[in-house]
Amino acid sequence: MSQRILIVGGNSEIAGATVSHLRAQGREVLATTRRADRAGADRPLLDLAQPVGNWAIPADLGAACFCAAIARLADCARNPEGSSRVNVTGTVALADRLLARGIPVLFLSTDKVFDGSRAHVPADAPLCPVSEYGRQKAAAEAALHLRMAQDAPVAILRLAKVVSPGMELVCRWLADLRAGKPVRAFHDMMMAPTPVALVAQTIERLLAELSTGIFQLTGPRDIAYSEVAVHLARRAGVDPALVEAVSAHSIDLPEGSTAANTTLDSTALSQRFGIAVPDAIEVVDALIDSCG
């Protein structure tokens, strides 16, 4: 792909890793920002909370990836109208403008479009969100699916928990455990962690192939946050009894925070590109190593 790639929402963790990966592959990348003080030649100013009808689409775009979102469940629950302007209205409006120019679109979505009652959910399963964030992502998916049905070059990539080297929670827990301090971890909050570098690689492959359809990428199994903390204790050589397993319901979390399952059926990416997420413990071990 010789044309430039547009990353919508360049300030996110996934976007940062993707921009670095794409540039390492020799791609020319533009990554939008909603902060005027960060705007520049390769950082176009764009706020999806504002009308996008007059936004100047950069020239010579070969594809666009939508990373921008208000993704915290609590933020969406607290302000459904404002978050929907970004997650649905602005996203779909800009996607339509790009598609009208024949620019392929990759939209990043979430496991939260499902209710978490089922493991390894197939990509074509009916959407059944329970959180406001999940409902917004499902609404955006539904709109883009209509464009896809009209042969528009649209792809959707669903993700669950994405983790990066130096993950603050893991490093803090590890430091506390090494100091002999107890940590509290939820036994009823699950994750199937996916390394951010693997997400960036997947985005690059989907954009390079100009793939269409719905793709999913999560770890192969869920692990409770309390299990992660116990594993950290063992790796640190301290008593696992320092980990106090508590319920996530002990604090005020929005609906959808404690899904029993977060895994999605990721075989399509494995079969097509050979991309597969390692086991949760292997991912956690890499995070531990990154903490120093």
Q: Alpha carbon 208 to chain centroid distance?
A: 19
Q: How far apart are CA 280 and CA 290, in angstroms?
A: 15
Q: What's the per-residue H, E or C state across the chain?
A: CCCEEEEECCCCHHHHHHHHHHHHCCCCEEECECCHHHCECCECECCCCCCCCCCCCCCCEEEEEECCCCCCHHHHHHCHHHHHHHHHHHHHHHHHHHHHCCCCEEEEEEHHHCCCCCCCECCCCCCCCCCHHHHHHHHHHHHHHHHHHCCCCEEEEEECCEECCCCHHHHHHHHHHHCCCCEEEECCCEECCEEHHHHHHHHHHHHHHCCCEEEEECCCCCEEHHHHHHHHHHHHCCCHHHEEEECHHHCCCCCCCCCCCCCECCHHHHHHHCCCCCCHHHHHHHHHHHHC
pLDDT for residue 1: 47
Total residues belonging to the chain:
292
The pLDDT tens digits for 10-26 are 999 999 999 999 999 99
Q: What is the mean pLDDT of the chain?
A: 96
pLDDT in tens, the chain (292 residues): 469 999 999 999 999 999 999 999 999 999 999 999 889 988 999 999 999 999 999 999 999 999 999 999 999 999 999 999 999 999 999 999 999 999 999 999 999 999 999 999 999 999 999 999 999 999 999 999 999 999 999 999 999 999 999 999 999 999 999 999 999 999 999 999 999 999 999 999 999 998 899 999 999 999 999 999 999 999 999 999 999 999 998 887 888 889 999 999 999 999 999 999 999 999 999 999 999 8
pTM (2 d.p.): 0.96
The pLDDT tens digits for 182-197 are 999 999 999 999 999 9
In order of their start, the domains of the chain are 4-162+194-218 (3.40.50.720)
